[in-house]
Amino acid sequence: MFDFLSRILGGKSRPGGPGSKSLAKERLKLALACDRVDVSPQMFEGLRVDLARAVSKYVEIDEAGMKLRFDSSDRRLALVASVPVIGMRRGSEAARRSKDRR
Amino acid sequence: MEGRVIVVTSGKGGVGKTTAVANIGCGLASRGKKVALVDADIGLRNLDIVLGLENRIVYDIVHVIEGKCRLRQALIRDKRLQTLFLMPAAQSRDKEAVQPEQMKQLTRTLAHEFDYVVIDCPAGIERGFKNAIAGADEAVIVTTPEVSAVRDADRIVGLLETQGVSGPRLVINRLRPEMVKRGDMLNVDDVIDILAIDLLGVVPDDESVITSTNKGEPVVLDGASRAGEAFRRIAARIDGEDVPFMSMEAGGFWSRLKRFIGMGM
Ligand SMILES: Nc1ncnc2c1ncn2[C@@H]1O[C@H](COP(=O)(O)OP(=O)(O)OP(=O)(O)O)[C@@H](O)[C@H]1O
Ligand SMILES: [Mg+2]
């Protein structure tokens, strides 16, 4: 009985999944993230290659598994990188540098 | 004391900027404030007809800027409210007839004499937009709870920031509570979450906006209208009063029944 009433009166969500607004919100979030960043694919690729090169000086990475994205939640932009590490480099640049400093 | 210059803008067209300017203006003037409304939508003059002042125009904003008349001569006093004035847009010119610097000077001059100068910005982000925001201290962004309007509003937030107009506040217009309840329309929290700016007010989609516009009487002057009440609160908030947000329950029979049987949200 309650179910029936709820259906004819239109409850919070419709049977068969959420209303179209969740889709609207998801699509908007994605569109705005891209709008706000406004970087060209070439620049993005350049950033990825340079970043991989820099990180590789210190640790051995799986470059193919590297993920890079901009996050613009909270109206502030963050560059979020996930870089799978295969192993540490012995006698790496980093180790040499810290020795120099000492 | 120097008045506040507030631009009402949106990016997307037809979301309710002119309606908001007319109602905010009448709302502030009803509170006893001296208000000048500036129609910056040159070539597509509308604020005059929404306010019911279309038959009184002799001079317009371009005449003032080109020095063909004095500022005072172009200002039209409202029929109902003694402290409300309109600076009409030119109808037979285009947006290029005005430079941002001239607009800035004009609104600053008005701010010497009025408590509030409220500017009706045209749609878009080109010259008309740049003119309208040139002299603004503050901005009110109008959107509807739809993807295209919200996306354009986000662009405007970014552009205002780069132009140095900070802290814009948001009016969500034409909200339909029954669609929100069904999950078929972005709700207030969704829009605020996405745009990350402060909320100034929420105006329901309401037929009385159209009937009152038909008569040239802003809905804020209609004590029985829901949209009118929403605009009264918006004007009060602009004027520095801390008023609670209106409940957006659909006021009809079904929602009363739902509340009665305990299903209301
Ligand atoms: N809350 C509302 N409920 C119902 N109708 C509304 C509401 N707000 C605005 N409207 C209607 O929507 C239409 C567009 O409004 P308005 O002219 O204020 O938009 P605008 O943003 O100034 O448009 P433009 O970009 O062309 O200048 C008008 O017909 C107006 O009556
Ligand atoms: Mg308009």
Instruction: Read off the pTM.
Output: 0.81
The residue range of the domain holding A73 is 39-102
Across the interface, of B155, B178, B183, the residue whose CB is closest to A13 is B183
Q: How confident is the model at residue A72 (pLDDT cuts 50, 70, 90)?
A: low
The DSSP call for residue B107 is: H
Q: Cα of B37 to ligand 1 centre, how many Å?
A: 17
Give the tens place of pLDDT for each residue, B207-256: 999 999 999 999 999 999 999 999 999 999 999 999 999 987 655 555 55
Across the interface, of A13, A14, A75, the residue whose CB is closest to B196 is A75
- Which of B143, B170, B182, B187 best probes binding to A when mutated, by most A CB atoms within 10 angstroms? B182
Give the tens place of pLDDT for each residue, B188-212: 999 999 999 999 999 999 999 999 9
Query: What average pLDDT is seen over chain B?
Result: 94
Q: State both tokens at A15.
A: 């049977």
Ligand nearest to the CA of B16: 1
Q: Which residues surround ligand 2, an ion (CB under 5 A)?
A: B 17-18, 46
Lowest mean pLDDT among A70-74, B3-7, B93-97, B183-187: A70-74
Does residue A40 surpass a pLDDT of 70? no
Percent of chain B with pLDDT over 70: 94
Mean of pLDDT values over B111-120: 98
Does residue B127 surpass a pLDDT of 60? yes
Cα(B85)–Cα(B79) distance, rounded to whole angstroms? 10
Query: Per the domain annotation, does A6 fall within a domain?
Result: no
Mean of pLDDT values over A61-77: 79
Q: How confident is the model at residue A94 (pLDDT cuts 50, 70, 90)?
A: low
Q: ipTM exceeding 0.90?
A: no
CB atoms within 10 A of CB B171: 24
Residue A73's pLDDT is 66
- Give chain B's domains with CATH numbers: 4-264 (3.40.50.300)
Residue A29's pLDDT is 84
Does residue B3 surpass a pLDDT of 90? yes
Give the ligand 1 atom nearest the CA of B14.
23
Does residue A14 surpass a pLDDT of 50? no
Give the ligand 1 atom nearest the CA of B19.
18
Residue B40's pLDDT is 98
- Per the structure, the count of domains in chain A is 1
Q: Between the CA of residue A89 and those of A58, A60, A101, B85, what are the distances in Å? A: 6, 6, 19, 74
Find out whether B152 and B123 touch, Cβ atoms under 8 Å. Answer: no
Find all residues with CB under 8 Å of B197, minimum gap 6, and list them. Answer: B141, B157, B167, B168, B169, B170
